[in-house]
Amino acid sequence: MQPYELTLVQAAEALRARRLSPVELLDSVLQRMEQVEPHLQAYATVTADRARRAARAAEKEIAAGRHRGPLHGIPMGLKDLIDVAGLPTSAGSRVRAGHRARTDSTVAARLAAAGAVLIGKTHTHEFAYGLITPQTRNAHRGDRVAGGSSGGSAVAVAAGTATFALGTDTGGSIRVPAALNGVVGLKPTYGLVSRHGVTPLSWSLDHVGPLTRTVEDAALVLTALAGHDPRDPACLPGPAENYRPGEDTDLTGLRVGVPRSYFFDRVDGEVEAAVRAALGRLEDLGARLVEIEIPLSRYIQATHWGLMVPEATACHEDTLRTVPGLYRSDVRVLLEAGALMSAADHLRAQRSRALMRREWTRVLDEVDLVAAPTVPVTAVKAGQETITWADGTVEGVAEAYVRLCCPANITGFPSLSVPVGHDEAGLPIGMQLLARPLGERVLLRAGHAYQQTQPAPAGALAPVVGDRSTAGSCGT
């Protein structure tokens, strides 16, 4: 096994025991990047020289007995919405040409303090306003979409060009690309992780979280990220916690809610079969499956739209007026649509969200988790705009990908996407777990137990092969 193939937990233990040095680990990741990045285009900016300096410093500190913890010396990627002092934050847009951050975002500063080594900034759909990330190709099949908007981060982790990465999630933008590329994606509770220094899309829906190869890896990153930050008004009070799950795989007593409706409506048969098989595995581990109804399901997508669209337009009001031609057409249309929505529409969406939070809280008083598909279909072909379901319903690709993820953004509840198999084409399938606010521990416990008892080891890299990875473009 090459160093770039190690999960975060494996790499951290090797570094701590000094069986591997941070420089050796970084060199392996950079060599991997030379091999596959031309095919995948996961990165907007690569900071190799900066990373080498940081890796050498980490090597010296660890040798001197000043080991900072499990992220010390670990190569990471940051979505190109996250400020790092002196580096561009392009947000995937010509609107940001020439922009350089003056200070670190809170999450970048916390990861740097933990000793993580920044290897580059990963591609995002423009201003995170999309579910495709057209610059980047899927890690498993180059003719398929990477998902978005954190597509670059997911692909980098899946391909071995970062040991972990950060993304942002407004309607599924961590979990969608995680599911489509076969990695773990965690959207924490709203306010658990600071968004200070992160380019916003929708202030009341935005979250920052990790993409990793295993659930245990995600827990380590969350431990470094979480904690109060007064510079983010939505950030929750309270000290940071250790989220690393134990090794016990016994889930006896855990009540897992299985939706009768909404989450299994208009879902590909192979996706549903894989998720139901994973549910069976949770049951084998002692969990009790409980059928539940999803409250107010007919209002979910309208509520998400009514919150996100006007808030995004407000964020871009000045540049939309002065330089509209610098936006991609798909993003500009959405921003212009937001200007047509009334204050009454936005207030109705806020009232709907309040009702949903109340009703979802009632559901999660009866069960500990809700389990469902992350997305209804695996990665579609690049350029495909719609999906036709068996009942003849035609749905836009972006709408399909956001449909099952946005309830966790509306409510602010934590959600974890875990790989649970592949379809006949070899494309990954993800299962989504949702918990009550600040329920990250139970999410991570259940996800980790599932991964620990699978026949194939968790954290395997995507089979990136030149002739498959270059078999098309993810541009639209």
Omega before 28 cis (within 30°)? Answer: no
Q: Which of 95, 119, 115 is nearest to 47 (CA)?
A: 119
Q: Is 149 labeled as catalytic in the residue annotation?
A: yes
Instruction: From the candidates 90, 150, 173, 194, give the one annotated as an active-site residue.
Output: 173
The residues, any chain, with a CB within 8 Å of residue 154's CB and separated by 6 or more, are 139, 146, 147, 165, 167, 177, 178, 180, 181, 183, 185, 211
**Gyration radius (Cα) of the chain, Å:** 21
297 is an active site residue = no
Rounded to the nearest 5 degrees, what angle is found at the Cα of 200, between the Cα atoms of 198 and 205? 115
Give the 3-state secondary structure of residue 260. Answer: coil
| Helix then strand then coil, % of the chain, to nearest 5 | 40, 15, 45
| Active-site hit among 21, 28, 105, 149 | 149
What residues contact 188, with CB distance under 8 A and at least 6 apart? 207, 208, 209, 222, 225, 226, 414, 440
Q: How far is CA 337 from the centre of its chain?
A: 26
Task: State the burial class of residue 64 (Cβ atoms within 10 Å of its Cβ: 0-12, 13-18, 19+).
Answer: exposed
Q: What is the rounded (10 degree) CA torsion for 241, 243, 245, 246?
A: -20
Bridge pairing between strands 369-373 and 164-169: unpaired
Q: From the candidates 28, 79, 202, 417, give the one annotated as an active-site residue.
A: 79
Among this protein's residues, is 79 annotated catalytic? yes
DSSP per position, 397-429: HHHHHHHTTHHHHHH---EEEEEEEE-TTS-EE
Question: Rounded to 5 degrees, what are φ and ψ at 381?
Answer: -70, 145
Closest CA to 376 of 260, 265, 257: 265
**Residue 167: beta bridge partners?**
209
CB 369 within 8 A of CB 435: yes
Q: Which residues are catalytic?
A: 79, 149, 173
